[in-house]
Amino acid sequence: MRVLSCLATEHNLWLVLLAAGICISGCWVAFDLIQRARDREGLQKSGWIFMSSVAGGASIWCTHFVAMLAYDPQAPVSFSPILTLISLLVAIAGCGAGVTVALSSSDKFVRATGGAVIGAGVAAMHYTGMAAYHVDGLVTWEPLHIAASLLLSVLLSAAATHKLLGEPGRRGQVLSVALFVSAIVALHFTGMAALSVVPMATGASLFDQAALQAMAVAVAGVGLIIVATGVASYLIDSFANLQTVQRLEELALNDPLTGLPNRISFNNQIILKLTRASQTNRKVAVLGIDLNRFKEINDLRGHDAGDTALRLIGARLKGLVADGEFVARIGGDEFGASKIYSDHAELAEFVSRVETALFQPLVIDTFAIANGASIGVAIYPHDGHTHERLISNADLAMYRAKSDSIISVCYYEPTMDEIARDRRNLAIDLRSAIERNELQLHYQVQKSIADGEISGYEVLLRWTHPTRGNVPPSEFIPLAEETGSIVAIGDWVLRTACEEAARWSTPHKIAVNISPAQLAHIDLAARVFEILLETDLAPSRLELEITETTIIQDKLRTLDQLRRIQSFGVTVALDDFGTGYSSLDTLRSFPFDKIKLDRSFMGELENDPQATAIVRAVLALGKSLDIPVLAEGVETSEQLSTLKLEGCKEAQGYLLGRPGAVGDTVHRAAATAPARGASEAA
């Protein structure tokens, strides 16, 4: 009753409302800042604690001060400036200490204790402020009301922080602000009820009523500015957070190198288009794109050139998209595109636009490349209803395009699934081919062109599949390389070839093909040494054939291995020269014992002057580097005479002998004659 009468009669009502406004808004902002402090660590946490203490302390102090100015004791009043200032500092310090304690642990008692500290601080501020308040009259204090005001402040503040930190979200915040505002109101009015003033006109007041009201408005203004500063910092932080989140989202959905959307965006886009297409009875095309021979750019020109190529392609693709179309970088040298359409002509036009963009030469530094790309297309609803199926079918079509040297765009057909399944099964069978004794070695003779003398035999692997019969090496070797089984198979070939050759009656040389994976994944030099010891084959009877790809993949390691192998007396030939990179750099980087000119040049040798020119150039190169050249794939005597004329030393091909089993190829006598391998090796 006393409280209400205070409010109605002794306080100036509109100033009381102003005080209430500051109190509620200040507490709201301070509590928002406390929540922000709770979610941060280290210096940021301290910064937010400081901000919340200043906003909270200052607004509580303003509330108190304005309410005091609204209080009319019916006697002249004055304020001690020092104590008034101290009361402000007490409010801020009390809040700071309380918030620090409340945030120091997630234990509910610690949180409530922090609130109690704030409540005690607020009470300390109130009574320091009252000490600064001088009334011309007889002032008496009633201890019971003082104790009650203290208790209410401490308990309600403790409940407020407990609610604020224990119940995240707006509801918790509303309840806690309500509790805290109640704490302040209860403290103020119970505290004021403890005060009774008997006016004694001992002197003039420092302020008249109008001056007091002006001061109240000024203080309220300052309070609101402090609160507004808190709000501003809160908003700036929220905006910065939003920007960070947006940046993170951008990073998560875009490829940083090309700036194109990434795989996740691509998937999302297709899902979106599928929904739209199903509602509007339209179609969606998904394009899988893989750049051709991109590895070459990386290997030969370096990764910077590779990155530039990807950026250029990315910019081109970005530049071509129209409404309803989408392009993305899926990863590595893979891109994707999609289009929603009704008429096939629209799709054909889009695909041709993409193809043109991919096939335009890329100019990087001083060189231009026009490798192009392989494109696979799958269409909803024909080729699949989900984004996964469509992407996987577009990929299957893309692989089909990749394996064809002429076409670059391939539309998905259901038979591609069967082909892929078939390849998977073949790969599984290949893994057990060694144990099931399905592999054999064939040997193809290599001869000196000048006198027809046998110079050696190339070892060629054959696979007789239990149901498919003979599977050509051009089919299973790449499969073994893809799946990694080439390491075990290559090891079997090397060991078996050495074993067989060691039993031959004539100590001919054997040339074994080595895959890049064998040099990359095992210590091949050590393995060769071991096999030579075990099989008793003379190292000089073994030649290893490697291709340029093997060297380029991991140059330093490969060259080191090859040097060690050569140091045992084993020779090394460079196979299929003229087809891949054909770089002089490869030839210079290692002292090859032989260059094998690829068989693809033989067919054209008679008719195509360019093929003759290449053969001549390779022969000249061999001569200048002092490396003998062997021509592969010689099928006609005309080819042989041309090679002889051009100064080629050795040849291999159907004309000189087809690959065959050891019994046919070498010496049937080998079975009866004593093995000479051992004596050779010795």
Q: Is 461 in the site for ligand C2E (CB under 6 A)?
A: yes
In whole angstroms, give the CA distance from residue 331 to residue 263.
7
If the CB atoms of residues 346 and 598 are measured against Mg ion, the closer one turns out to be: 598
Using only C-alpha atoms, the chain has a radius of gyration, in whole angstroms, of 44
Give the one residue of 216, 357, 477, 537 binding ligand C2E; rule: CB under 6 A: 477
For CA atoms 201, 206, 210, 216, the dihedral sign is negative
Q: Which amino acid is at 562?
A: L
State which residue, 310 or 493, has the beta carbon closest to ligand C2E.
493
371 contacts 292 by C-beta, under 8 angstroms: yes
Q: How far apart are CA 304 and CA 317, in angstroms?
A: 20
> Going residue by residue from 545 to 584, which x/- string records binding to Mg ion, judged by CB under 5 A?
x-----------------------------xx--------
Q: Which two tokens stand for residue 428?
A: 């599984």
Q: Is 493 in the site for ligand C2E (CB under 6 A)?
A: yes
Please report, as a single letter, which amino acid is at residue 226.
Answer: I
> What DSSP element (H or E) covers 238?
helix 209-253
Is residue 379 close enough to count as binding ligand C2E by CB under 6 A? Answer: no
Residue choice 113, 157, 444, 558 for contact with ligand C2E (CB under 6 A): 444
Pick 599 or 649: Cβ nearer ligand C2E: 599
Nearer to Mg ion, 299 or 632 (CB): 632
Instruction: Report the distance separating Cα 269 and Cα 251, nearest Å.
Output: 17
Q: In the complex with Mg ion, which residue's Cβ is closer, 500 or 545?
A: 545
96 binds, among ligand C2E, Mg ion, none (CB under 5 to 8 A by kind): none
Q: Judged by CB, which is closer to Mg ion: 100, or 600?
A: 600
Let me know: does 329 contact 258? Beta carbons within 8 Å. yes
493 binds, among ligand C2E, Mg ion, none (CB under 5 to 8 A by kind): ligand C2E
Residue 136 is a binding residue for Mg ion (CB under 5 A): no
In sequence order, which residues have a C-beta less than 8 Å from that of residue 452 and are 6 or more positions away?
A: none
Binding status of residue 654 toward ligand C2E by CB under 6 A: yes
Backbone angles phi, psi at 89, to 5 degrees: -65, -35
Q: Which of 21, 473, 507, 660 binds ligand C2E (CB under 6 A)?
A: 473
3-state DSSP assignment of residue 95: helix
Which candidate, 439, 517, 446, 509, places its Cα nearest to that of 485? 517
> Within 132-208, where are the H helices?
143-166, 170-193
Residue 57 contacts ligand C2E per CB under 6 A: no
630 lines the binding site for ligand C2E (CB under 6 A): no
Residue 542 contacts which entry, ligand C2E, Mg ion, none (Cβ below 5-8 A, type-dependent): none
Is 513 among the residues that bind Mg ion (CB under 5 A)? yes
Residue with tokens 């001083």: 366
From 23, 318, 77, 31, select the one nearest 171 (Cα to Cα): 31
Helices (H), 39-70: 42-70
Asked if residues 412 and 401 have their Cβ atoms less than 8 Å apart, the reply is no
Say which entry of Mg ion, ligand C2E, none residue 635 contacts (CB below 5 to 8 A, set by partner kind).
Answer: ligand C2E
- Cβ distance to Mg ion smaller for residue 395 or 545: 545
**Buried b or exposed e, range 370-394, using 16+ CB within 10 angstroms:** ebbbbbbbbbbeebbeebeebbbbb
What is the C-alpha to C-alpha distance for residues 27 and 18, in angstroms, rounded to an integer?
14
Nearest to 212 by CA among 354, 18, 56, 455: 18
Q: In the stretch 596-635, what mask flags binding to Mg ion with x, by CB under 5 A? A: ------------------------------------x---
In the complex, what is the shortest distance from the CB of residue 609 to Mg ion, in angstroms, rounded to a whole number? 23
Shortest Å, Cβ 652 to Mg ion: 9
Query: How does 124-152 read in b/e, with b if 16+ C-beta sit within 10 Å?
Result: bbbbbbbebbbbbbebeeeeebbebbbeb
Residue 305: exposure state from Cβ atoms within 10 A (0-12, 13-18, ≥19):
middle
Nearest approach in angstroms of CB 317 to ligand C2E is 36
Name the residue number minimizing CB distance to ligand C2E: 653
Could you tell me the end-to-end alpha-carbon distance of the chain, in angstroms, rounded to an integer? 120
Number of residues that bind ligand C2E (CB under 6 A): 23
Cis peptide before 381 (omega within 30 of 0): yes
According to CB under 6 A, which one of 72, 635, 646, 680 is a site residue for ligand C2E?
635
CB of 257 to ligand C2E, least distance (A): 34
Of 373, 365, 273, which is closest to residue 314 (Cα–Cα)? 373
* One of 143, 319, 472, 674 touching ligand C2E (CB under 6 A): 472
Asked if 446 interacts with Mg ion (CB under 5 A), we say no
Residues 561-590 that bind ligand C2E (CB under 6 A): 575-576
Q: In angstroms, what is the minimal distance from the CB of 478 to ligand C2E?
A: 9
| Minimum gap (Å) between residue 492 Cβ and ligand C2E | 9
Contact present, 16 and 70 (Cβ < 8 Å): yes
Q: Taking CB under 6 A as the rule, does residue 499 contact ligand C2E?
A: no
Q: Which helix (H) or strand (E) holds 331?
A: strand 325-331
Q: Does 456 bind ligand C2E (CB under 6 A)?
A: no
Here's the x/- map for ligand C2E, 523-562, by CB under 6 A: it reads as: ----------------------x-----------------
For residue 366, the minimal CB distance to ligand C2E (Å) is 34
- Out of 599, 605, 629, 651, which residue is the one contacting ligand C2E (CB under 6 A)? 599
Q: Which does 677 bind (CB under 5 to 8 A by kind): Mg ion, ligand C2E, none?
A: none
Rounded to a whole number of angstroms, the minimum distance from the CB of residue 474 to ligand C2E is 5
Give contact residues for ligand C2E (rule: CB under 6 A): 444, 460-461, 472-474, 477, 490, 493, 513, 515, 545, 575-576, 599, 632-635, 652-654, 659
